[in-house]
A and B are shown apart, each in its own frame.
Chain A
Amino acid sequence: MDVASINSNAEEFAIGCFLSIKTTFGDEFKGQVVAFDRPSNFLVLHILFGGGRKNVRILKANYIKELAFLGQGDDPVDLSKCCLDLSTLQAREELALRQAEAEAERIGVGVTAEAQNLFDALSKTLPVRWDKTVIVVMNEVRVNSPYVPESVSGGTPAANERVKKVLELERRRLHARGGP
């Protein structure tokens, strides 16, 4: 495999030390070592940004192309505070799943990006959903590909008109912006 051999020296991966890493895929980042698991050769890094938030990277050391030691720091992890509540985690996961699913519904499968943009724009003010590749507005009006005002059908004349109008405006706006 295209894995650069790396010196997984334990000393280099001492906890708390700052490293600058470049992966075989070209990712570069700096982080602080939080954990290193020799058997699996996985490195856990904290990438700190301002504001107290940090990114966590779990990287397989095999894929480190370049490594630079930046300095040694203290263990960033406060072990006394490290306690996990699984129920919270699960709840969080469920929440995330719900949100993701809701989001997934909004994304059409097999539709062009333009269509998706139009869908998103419509959804700002109208209730829309996907029906395969048809945008269904307010459960009555259908907009087929190619999603031009002419392809709007169904619904009451008023609703139809409204959808047409909104569609037109959105198209215009998207094109003005440069389009997808």
Chain B
Amino acid sequence: MNEVSECLKSFREWRLSNSKFAEITGLKFLLRMSVQQFAQPKSSANGYGRREVEREGGSRVDNKLHSGKSSIGKMANTHYSGGNKIGGFGGASRDRLVYFSTCLIGHHVEAQVKNGSVYTGIFHAANVDRDVGIVLKMARLTKDTSTQLQNTRADSLSKSFSKTLIVPAKELVQIVAKDVSVTRDEISNEYQSEKQEELLIDSYISRARPGDMERELKPWVPEDNDPHCPELENVFDDHWKRGWDQFEVNEALFGVKSTFNEELYTTKLERGPRMRQLELEASRIAKEIEREDTRDLHLAEERGTNLPESVDIDEETRFSSVYRGRVADDCGYEEEENILLDTRNGETFEDATSSVIGKVFSGITGGIDTGDSLLSSRSSMDVPQVSQSKDSADTLSIEMPDIHDRLLLPHLPTTLSQSDGEIRFQQTITDPQRANTDTGGGDQQKSVSHTKFSSVLKIEDSQSSSGEHDDFHNADGKGGPSSKVTSSTSSQASIRGRSKKNPPGDPLETQGGEKLSVESHGRPGSSVSSTSDRPGRASASAGTGLTPSSSVGSLSSEKSTLNPNAKEFKLNPNAKSFVPSQATVRPISPVGDSSFYFPANLSGIPQMHGMPVGVGLGPYVAHQPVIFNPQAAPVQSPQAYFPPAGPHYGQPMLIGHPRPYSYGPGFPPEMPYKGREF
């Protein structure tokens, strides 16, 4: 150290003799420079100006410095060891000075020198010995007052960088550093964020250009408290409080007459003596719905309730993403919901004459609605619902992680009116065992493909099961696979039986209907309801053996437990065709992408009759008995018939004309059906 100081001293003297301030370019300024190096500038006639050395001893901050934490105290110590006579106050102050200078390392600073010129560069080091001199790296002159050239043209002057610039103490006037972080946390934060900036982000690139300088921002002050400004707090007050009717004003000011007729957009309300009563009823129902227990994240959010598990879910799932059924946290709900849907569907669609609405459910549990009486009774009140649901392509939610156990295709009654084509379903009623034991890809595939379509199948269900929902137990309890679905039965594949949804379904079921639900989870051997949370809900399908093609929809990507040899998988040329009233297929997200064949032209078809494929996948594809006829736009081009990629796809539809037509999965998803029909 001593020799270094010696050299430094000598150089200081040497530099003092130079009045001219010159830049040193390309000089590597290393701490532990050898004496020879120090000597070099002296000998060379480069006109190296003054050189300022960095701090002596351990207080030198340089690249060569060993890393490690350093504190002011440490600095002070080394400084003291330099033999400076510093008083108490001065010592502390000196420490601070040292500290702040250290804080500046790596920072962009502006250094002003005696002649007024300003240099901008990266702070590299400072010598705070007796006087403060600094070293800047990549410095350039930004303000030049030394020469006659006023910095009018940003010519080469400001553009040439000096690799190293030393500003001796004598020259230094001030150092200005902007946005300096002083504490350790600040520094590391700053560094972290700067590190990220190394990636060339746009803002960084544009920063290179001296574009807009920041303006000083002043807070906005309204002028004269403009009386025309409406009170912002009251803007969203109820209209009766506001005393402001926009239509009135519009008419008054501009003569614009409103031609709004509410009845154009909604059902005409019967305003009569019964109005009040109806209103009350409606609001009661509304409250009931709103108070309903929901397991859907989004619904819960809307209602303001918090699902217990919602705390850990990430924001995207919670607020943004579309529910696809496979959401882990929501797994259970789907089934519930589907069951509810099914119950509703049962009510809605059991009318024999109503068209079959295909629904695709991923998990199917539940029973088949049976009992004509029940059905008809239901259907009557559901007619509006039916139409509505039929119209909307997305009445039923299709979320199904589970897979059908089996794909049961009901015999559709000829009463299916809606769709034009014929769809033949195969009765898939099988023994419960069969249903349960059904395994294999066939099932899977069926289910999967069905998921694509939303169709509420009407299932002729001859089983008039006990209407108790609890009767969803194993087929044993129910009667064998039924038979034909009564035309009035609409089967709904309830997607997942969930015990929670029981209550809403209960009243319906007690009416004697059974919901047909196909349990779709690839668990063989268990009763259909095996995946259902609902204890009571044995897969009715198991019991009834009737799987609505809608259940087809509830295919999920799990292993199918369908029995490849099930009756439903065999082509039944005499089967009645099934014409779903509406078909929206909801792609099952869990299914691998490859399994989705989404024929391009399918998107052109607004409403597909969801044709759940009643056929097993794979080998059964060939036996596709289902003929599907899309209601709306004709299918442009027949799709190539491709076997399902995964185990989940059933081969769907055939178009009305006997042309094998395979739709891949990937129909537009159906919106979850969460309504009620009354």
A168 to B79, CA, bound (A): 60
B104: chain A residues within 8 A (beta carbon): 56
Interface of chain B, helix or strand or loop or mixed? mixed
B131: chain A residues within 8 A (beta carbon): 40
Task: Please pick, from A78, A90, A116, the residue contacting B159 in the complex, using a CB distance under 8 A.
Answer: A116
State whether A113 and B176 are in contact (beta carbons under 8 Å apart), knowing that A82-B99, A84-B184, A90-B106 are contacts in the complex: no
B591: chain A residues within 8 A (beta carbon): none
Which bucket holds chain A's interface residue count? Answer: 35 or more
A91 to B105, CA, bound (A): 10
State whether A44 and B96 are in contact (beta carbons under 8 Å apart), knowing that A85-B184, A100-B161 are contacts in the complex: yes
B183 at the A interface (CB under 8 A): yes
B160: chain A residues within 8 A (beta carbon): 109
Stretch in contact with the other chain, from A30-38, A135-143, A147-155, A156-164 = A30-38
Complex contact B96–A77 (CB within 8 A) = yes
A44 to B99, CA, bound (A): 10
B182 at the A interface (CB under 8 A): yes
A34 to B174, CA, bound (A): 15
CB-based nearest B residue for A21: B174
A38 to B91, CA, bound (A): 9
How close is B92's CB to chain A, nearest CB, in angstroms? 8
Complex contact B191–A86 (CB within 8 A) = no
A111 to B108, CA, bound (A): 24
Complex contact B205–A89 (CB within 8 A) = no
A22 at the B interface (CB under 8 A): no
Complex contact B155–A113 (CB within 8 A) = yes
B197: chain A residues within 8 A (beta carbon): 99
A68 at the B interface (CB under 8 A): no
Task: Please pick, from A15, A89, A99, the residue contacting B102 in the complex, using a CB distance under 8 A.
Answer: A89
B357 at the A interface (CB under 8 A): no
State whether A1 and B177 are in contact (beta carbons under 8 Å apart), knowing that A87-B67, A90-B63, A93-B122 are contacts in the complex: no
A83: chain B residues within 8 A (beta carbon): 69, 71, 183-184
Complex contact B156–A58 (CB within 8 A) = no
B274 at the A interface (CB under 8 A): no
Interface of chain A, helix or strand or loop or mixed? mixed
Complex contact B94–A107 (CB within 8 A) = no
How close is B492's CB to chain A, nearest CB, in angstroms? 58
State whether A91 and B68 are in contact (beta carbons under 8 Å apart), knowing that A37-B90, A81-B185, A99-B198 are contacts in the complex: no
B175: chain A residues within 8 A (beta carbon): 56-59
B598: chain A residues within 8 A (beta carbon): none
How close is A56's CB to chain B, nearest CB, in angstroms? 4
Complex contact B174–A57 (CB within 8 A) = yes
Q: Mark B104-118, 1 if CB is under 8 A from A, else 0.
A: 111110001010100
Complex contact A36–B187 (CB within 8 A) = no
CB-based nearest A residue for B154: A113
B61 at the A interface (CB under 8 A): yes
CB-based nearest A residue for B216: A49
A42: chain B residues within 8 A (beta carbon): 97, 132
State whether A60 and B173 are in contact (beta carbons under 8 Å apart), knowing that A84-B184, A97-B138 are contacts in the complex: yes
A39: chain B residues within 8 A (beta carbon): 84, 86, 90, 94, 130
Complex contact A55–B90 (CB within 8 A) = no
Q: How many residues of B contact A (CB 8 A)?
A: 74
8 A Cβ contacts from A102-117 to B: 103-104, 106-113, 116
B169 at the A interface (CB under 8 A): yes
A56 to B183, CA, bound (A): 13
B86: chain A residues within 8 A (beta carbon): 39
Task: Please pick, from B66, B180, B195, the residue contacting A54 in the complex, using a CB distance under 8 A.
Answer: B180
A173 at the B interface (CB under 8 A): no
B65: chain A residues within 8 A (beta carbon): 86, 90
A87 to B64, CA, bound (A): 10
B178 at the A interface (CB under 8 A): yes
A6 to B606, CA, bound (A): 86
CB-based nearest A residue for B67: A87
State whether A58 and B100 are in contact (beta carbons under 8 Å apart), knowing that A95-B106, A100-B161, A113-B154 are contacts in the complex: yes
Complex contact A98–B103 (CB within 8 A) = no
B601 at the A interface (CB under 8 A): no
8 A Cβ contacts from A36-54 to B: 36-40, 42, 44, 53-54
Complex contact A100–B178 (CB within 8 A) = no
Complex contact A92–B169 (CB within 8 A) = no
B566 at the A interface (CB under 8 A): no
Complex contact B102–A92 (CB within 8 A) = no
8 A Cβ contacts from B158-172 to A: 159-161, 169, 172
A18 to B280, CA, bound (A): 70
A53 to B156, CA, bound (A): 32
A116 to B93, CA, bound (A): 45
Q: Mark B326-355, 1 if CB is under 8 A from A, else 0.
A: 000000000000000000000000000000
Complex contact B105–A38 (CB within 8 A) = no
Complex contact B155–A112 (CB within 8 A) = yes
State whether A89 and B96 are in contact (beta carbons under 8 Å apart), knowing that A111-B156, A113-B153 are contacts in the complex: no
Complex contact A88–B191 (CB within 8 A) = yes
A103 to B140, CA, bound (A): 12
B174: chain A residues within 8 A (beta carbon): 23, 27, 57-60, 63
CB-based nearest B residue for A60: B173
Complex contact A35–B130 (CB within 8 A) = no
Q: Mark B293-329, 1 if CB is under 8 A from A, else 0.
A: 0000000000000000000000000000000000000
B270 at the A interface (CB under 8 A): no
Q: What 14 additional pairs, Cβ within 8 angstroms, besides A92-B107, A97-B138, A113-B155?
A: A27-B174, A35-B97, A39-B94, A44-B100, A56-B104, A77-B182, A87-B68, A89-B61, A90-B105, A93-B122, A93-B123, A95-B198, A96-B108, A113-B154
30 contacts between A and B (CB under 8 A): A10-B89, A35-B93, A36-B93, A37-B93, A39-B86, A40-B132, A42-B97, A54-B179, A55-B178, A56-B177, A59-B173, A81-B182, A81-B185, A82-B183, A83-B71, A83-B183, A84-B103, A85-B67, A86-B69, A92-B105, A93-B124, A95-B106, A95-B194, A96-B138, A96-B194, A97-B122, A103-B208, A107-B159, A109-B159, A110-B156
Which A-B residue pairs are the 6 nearest by beta carbons? A93-B106, A35-B96, A87-B67, A92-B106, A100-B138, A81-B183
Chain A residues close to B by CB (< 8 Å): 1, 10, 15, 23-25, 27, 34-40, 42, 44, 53-60, 63, 77-79, 81-101, 103-104, 106-113, 116, 120, 124, 180
Chain B residues close to A by CB (< 8 Å): 61, 63, 65-72, 84, 86-87, 89-90, 93-94, 96-97, 99-108, 112, 114, 116, 121-124, 128, 130-132, 137-138, 153-156, 159-161, 169, 172-180, 182-185, 187-188, 190-191, 194-195, 197-198, 205, 208-209
